[in-house]
Amino acid sequence: MILFLNFAPIEFMGGAEKMMLKMSNIIKDRERTVLVSVSKKIADFYGKLVLHRKFDNRIKSTTSQNESFIKLTFKSFIPLHKEWKKTRELFQNARIIYIKFELLETLIVIYFGGFKALRKTIAGIHTPLIYMYPKGFFDNLHTWLYESFLSKFILSRMKKVHVLTAREQFFLQKNFHLKNIVLIPNSLPDSYVKNNTVETIKNNLIIIFIGELSRRKGADILLDVIKNSPKEYIFHIVGDGPMKNEITDFVKTKSNCKIHGYINEDEVKKIYKQSDIIFIPSRAESMSLVTLEAMANGLKIVGSTEIPIDLPLFIKHSNIYNKYEKYLELFRQIYLQKQNGKFFEEKEKIVDYFRENFTDKKIIPALVKEVFGLS
């Protein structure tokens, strides 16, 4: 049995939750899988305390009457309670425990399985270990903890460490001297780009921001960019978070900007199809599904140097200072390229690059074999 532990409820369906569900579904035909998360009440308690947000359900519950999905309630953590016994047995019987290496998930593994459970745990580094530009007490605490001897000690005793990018691999090898690292990037289904065609609207530059509306994700920089952009730049904002109300109030004053909130996959694809740029001014970033979805639709990636994927210059445009003035200059250069008539060919080139490097057909066999030890 392979147990996937994700602190946030799967119904939240952020990038990490989507990946956990995807991996579980891929492997379940080869070996029994169980997807474990905490209840919404526990997640919201932590979210309000640390993240200043709640974990809203974005899809219909997948856990009802399904033994493949387990929700940990407050009762699950009460020693000798029947829920505690059930959960403890689950962790002890698992062949592999896959986590995102969030501190709370690590503590849950140790609580139910003991320190010996680390030997069968795989740490999936799906979020940045450290924040290069931490904001506030909890960001600084996060960076301190994940650079500490404690993190090195825990990771060195785990079965494997699964990283998505060469940057994380280099960091762990250089600073923690780890030997148990497997580098396998994220991917999207082949059907996502099957017969995919790109579109472009010549007279405007269409820019999309997808993600949590928070300072950590650079939503404040997004606001500065919009405030100083010409009317030819059209912005679509997809997501929610702590800054949603502030951004919503501002957008009401701008005719070239629309905030969509959280929308379903089909609606997002429609916006991708007409867009030119995915804007990621994040202060802490890993290899997000958003970057892959953008490439699959031929979008250029404009963002901070915290985007850790090594991509060709015709795809990725980085701002080493993460200042809105530099982003405006990058947008202007891309807008001029679009006016010069070769932009459509570049969008097709980006889609081709994605097909060659980040489809499930290429990535999944290596993931199943090297990470989970299955043929």
Report the DSSP pairing between strands 233-238 and 181-183.
unpaired
What percent of the chain lies above the pLDDT cut of 70? 95
pLDDT (tens digit per residue) in 197-242: 656 667 899 999 999 899 889 999 999 999 999 999 999 999 988 8
| pLDDT band (50, 70, 90) for residue 61 | low
**In angstroms, what CA-CA distances link 270 with 190, 205, 244, 343?**
18, 16, 22, 19
Tokens of 7: 């602190």
* pLDDT tens string 329-373: 999 999 998 888 778 888 899 999 999 999 999 999 999 999 999
Residues belonging to the chain: 375
What's the sign of the alpha-carbon dihedral 207, 211, 212, 215?
Answer: negative
Residue that the structure tokens 């002890």 belong to: 92
- Asked whether 165 and 185 are in contact (CB, 8 A), the reply is yes
238 DSSP β-pair partners: 210, 261
Q: pLDDT tens digit string along 123-182?
A: 999 888 877 667 778 788 888 888 899 999 999 999 999 999 998 999 899 999 999 999
- What residue ranges define each of the domains in the chain, with the CATH number in brackets? 2-187+360-371 (3.40.50.2000), 190-357 (3.40.50.2000)
Picking from 192, 182, 143, 158, the residue whose alpha carbon sits closest to that of residue 18 is: 192
pLDDT of residue 286: 82
Buried residues in 155-192 as b, exposed as e (16+ CB within 10 A): beebbbbbbbbebbbebbeeebebeebbebbbbbeeeb
| Closest of 107, 110, 112, 111 to residue 89, by C-alpha | 112
Q: What is the pLDDT of residue 64?
A: 45
Q: How much is the mean pLDDT over the chain?
A: 89
Label residue 65 by pLDDT band (50, 70, 90).
Answer: very low
